[in-house]
């Protein structure tokens, strides 16, 4: 799926760890939360139709303009979204993808899933923006980790300090790498939910 799909379609309880759920229950919960994600205000109001504009020239200051979700809308979205990105969650997208791969009885769906998994792994390492700060390359996955764990959740002191050490332009670029990665991640989450629903409907996936 591409960004247009999110733009057109597009309080958190404490959950037990993956081992407390059967594989079938994990798939059930995954589909439920994917649907919840698609019904967030951020997706319904097309808040991820983001844009970053930078203007400037010789002897002229840089002018920046950023279109992005409001903090209220983004925080509400992240409350559901973060569960898909957390390794120990029962709906961890990578863990659920493994369950689907092991139980899917369709070469066609397996081929689509494998191709999408490869794209997702690539997008974690390299997004549309190449970001190098103090000679260190920051991947989309790392940018997301900085913002989610340094600002929005957990308040990791080291990550918060790294964010705060960035100059305004570096912080803005890092934020847009983070937002673009949310779009890629959400497309992957929704695609996997569709594979689960179609596979079960056609009797090609159990549990």
Site of tokens 């769906």: 109
Enumerate the β-bridge partners of residue 206.
none
C-alpha–C-alpha distance, residues 67 and 52, integer Å: 6
**pLDDT for the residue numbered 174:** 92
Number of helical (H) and strand (E) elements in the chain, helices listed first: 9, 4
Total length of the chain: 207
Give me the phi and psi of 56, to 5 degrees please: 175, 175
pLDDT by residue (tens digit) across 40-78? 999 999 999 999 998 877 777 778 899 999 999 999 999
Site of tokens 């992240």: 78
pLDDT by residue (tens digit) across 169-181? 889 999 999 999 9
- Sorted by sequence, the CB contacts under 8 Å of residue 144 that are 6+ apart come out as 85, 178, 181, 182, 185
Residue 15: is its pLDDT beyond 70? no
State the DSSP string of 86-143: -TTSTT-HHHHHHHHHHHB--HHHHHHHHHHHHHHHHHHH--SS-EEETTEEE-HHHH
Mean pLDDT computed over 189-200? 97
pLDDT by residue (tens digit) across 150-175? 999 877 899 999 899 888 888 999 99
pLDDT by residue (tens digit) across 63-121? 889 999 999 999 999 999 999 999 889 999 999 999 999 999 999 999 999 999 999 99
**pLDDT for the residue numbered 151:** 92
Give the Å distances, CA to CA, from 66 to 23, 49, 63, 120, 157. Answer: 42, 11, 10, 25, 27
**pLDDT for the residue numbered 108:** 94
Residue 128: is its pLDDT beyond 80? no
Site of tokens 């890629």: 184
Per-residue pLDDT band for 19 (boundaries 50, 70, 90) equals low
Residue 207: is its pLDDT beyond 90? no
Please choose, from the candidates 182, 206, 152, the residue with its C-alpha nearest in 3D space to the C-alpha of residue 43: 182
- Predicted TM-score of the model (pTM): 0.86
Enumerate the β-bridge partners of residue 52.
66
C-alpha–C-alpha distance, residues 45 and 32, integer Å: 20
């Amino acid at each position: 799926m591409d960004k247009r799909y999110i733009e057109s379609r597009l309080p958190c309880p404490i959950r037990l760890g993956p081992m407390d759920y059967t594989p079938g229950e994990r798939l059930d919960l995954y589909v439920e939360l994917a649907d919840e994600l698609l019904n967030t205000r951020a997706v319904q109001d097309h808040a991820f139709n983001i844009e970053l504009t930078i203007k400037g020239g010789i002897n002229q200051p840089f002018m920046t303009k950023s279109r992005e979700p409001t903090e209220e809308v983004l925080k509400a979205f992240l409350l559901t979204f973060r569960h898909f990105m957390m390794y120990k969650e029962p709906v961890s997208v990578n863990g659920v993808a493994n369950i689907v791969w092991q139980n899917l009885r369709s070469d066609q769906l397996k081929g689509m899933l494998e191709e999408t998994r490869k794209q997702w792994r690539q997008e974690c390492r390299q997004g549309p923006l190449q970001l190098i700060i103090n000679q260190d390359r920051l991947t989309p996955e790392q940018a997301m980790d900085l913002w989610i764990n340094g600002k929005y959740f957990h308040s990791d002191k080291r990550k918060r300090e790294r964010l705060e050490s960035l100059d305004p332009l570096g912080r803005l670029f890092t934020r847009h790498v983070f937002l673009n990665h949310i779009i890629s991640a959400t497309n992957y989450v929704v695609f996997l939910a569709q594979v689960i629903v179609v596979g079960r409907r056609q009797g090609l996936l159990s549990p």
